[in-house]
Amino acid sequence: MLMPEIEPPKHLQRAEVDAELARLVQDPAQLARARKIAKFFAHGLTAMDWEDLLYKAMTLLLAGKRKWPRAISTLGVLKGAMRSVASNTRKKLDYVLADDLISTSDEEGDSSPLDKAGSSESDPALLAEAESALRNAVKGDEEVELFLEALAEGLTGTNIAKELGWDGKTYEAARKRLSRRLAELKTDRSTP
Amino acid sequence: MTNPIGDKPKSERLLDGLVEELRTMSDTDALEGENPEDLVKLGERLLKSAREEAGKLRMADAKRRLAIVANNKPSASLPSVADARKYLQSLPNLTLAARNLSELSEADVLDLFSQAKTLEESSTSDEEDVNE
């Protein structure tokens, strides 16, 4: 007799999220990748550095304030969560700065970025600043600049090499240098 | 012809591409210039803190939900974790996994309790609706 197939939930359950993050922290290469993404978003944040971003993203996911879609990779999920935290931190800072200039009622109270980060999404200014910082960091390295341009056109992997007429070695070397520049990105709190 | 990359802004495509390139690069390349042992130690520390903070957030959420239930039913009051465990143990239809109450954190117990209470409240009000 055919048994009805039970579909797993679309999002990871709390224990699964915990297990995925436990796996992440035992994998130094994945951590190094996550660190580079965190550094990208941490640029321009004065209130937190890349470690804070990663920690807060983990907290959001573990607390269930941000869902982990089953089909999305760990890095993809962390990217979204860290971006959300960074974006809300910036908004909160903007709010505080505006509040210094104009006396208004504080409807948002002392809510932390975490309170809102679960639902918030894109902040074009955050992304534009991060991109600009990365472009500055690679300035002078023509191949990496072209690499970034190709990414912005939506190309990845071998398509980049094909489009730019590079062999595999040139592509790998440029990607490696880009990865290094990401790791070296300075945040305002500047942790190595 | 449809555009395979859609109408995403350039900066969004660049971000997606960066993550994809990092994801697909070799572990050796990703780890260049890093100290793997230090990274793992740092990761463990961050996860430990995140687990603690998430527990506090879940506990606060559970208490908030319970407070709403209590407000809707003035006779109800916030239980202690021990009382919540006792109540959950008494429920016949709790799943086997959830009945392993001694292994659940305080936040999880309160969370489960608030869910059970909310269900109880809604089924009671459904019955009242039917009887009216």
Of A22, A65, A151, the CB nearest to B18: A151
How much is the pLDDT for A96?
A: 52
Q: In this complex, do A152 and B13 lie within 8 Å of one another by their Cβ atoms?
A: yes
At A118-135, the pLDDT tens digits run: 444 567 888 998 999 999
Q: In this complex, do A73 and B37 lie within 8 Å of one another by their Cβ atoms?
A: no
Q: Which value does ipTM take for this structure?
A: 0.81
> How many Å apart are CA A31 and CA B38, to the nearest integer?
11
What are the structural domain ranges in chain B?
Answer: 10-131
In angstroms, what CA-CA distances link A131 with A37, B37, B127?
Answer: 12, 30, 58
Residue B29: which region, alpha, beta or left (left: phi > 0; alpha: psi -120 to 50)?
alpha
> How many Å apart are CA A43 and CA A40, to the nearest integer?
6
The SS3 of residue A148 is: helix
B44 touches chain A (CB under 8 A): yes
At A135-174, the pLDDT tens digits run: 999 999 999 999 999 999 999 999 999 999 999 999 999 9
Chain B's closest residue to A83, CA to CA, is B15
Spatial contact of A137 and A36, defined as CB atoms under 8 Å apart: no
pLDDT above 80 (res A190): no
Provide the chain B residues 97-116 that lie in CB contact (below 8 A) with chain A.
Answer: none
pLDDT above 50 (res A79): yes
Q: In this complex, do A154 and B51 lie within 8 Å of one another by their Cβ atoms?
A: no
* Structure-model confidence comparison of residues B77 and A58, the more confident one: A58
Question: Is the dihedral angle over the CA atoms A154, A160, A165, A171 positive or is it negative?
Answer: positive
Chain A's closest residue to B54, CA to CA, is A63
At B7-39, the pLDDT tens digits run: 788 999 999 999 999 999 999 999 998 999 999
This prediction has a pTM of: 0.75
Q: In this complex, do A29 and B51 lie within 8 Å of one another by their Cβ atoms?
A: no
| Percent of chain A at pLDDT exceeding 90 | 64
A45 touches chain B (CB under 8 A): no
Q: Which of A84, A91, A83, A78 is nearest to A31 (CA)?
A: A78
Provide the chain A residues 73-112 that lie in CB contact (below 8 A) with chain B.
Answer: 73, 75-76, 79
Average pLDDT for residues B50-61, to the nearest whole number? 93
What are the structural domain ranges in chain A?
Answer: 14-184
How much is the pLDDT for A35?
A: 95
Low-confidence winner among A22-31, A66-75, B122-131 (lowest mean pLDDT): B122-131
How much is the pLDDT for B68?
A: 77
Question: Which residues of chain B neighbour A122 with C-beta distances below 8 Å?
Answer: 12
Mean pLDDT over the full length of chain A:
83
How much is the pLDDT for B86?
A: 83
Residues 6+ apart with CB under 8 A from A25: A31, B40, B43, B44, B46, B47
Of B8, B23, B36, the CB nearest to A33: B23
Of B23, B49, B61, the CB nearest to A75: B23
Reduced to 3 DSSP states, what percent helix, strand and coil does chain A have, rounded to the nearest 5? 65, 0, 35
How much is the pLDDT for A102?
A: 41
Produce one character per residue of A90-128: b if its CB has 16 or more CB atoms within 10 Å, e if not. bbbeeeeeeeeeeeeeeeeeeeebbebbbeeeebeebbe
At B75-121, the pLDDT tens digits run: 556 678 888 888 887 877 666 556 677 777 777 788 778 777 777 76
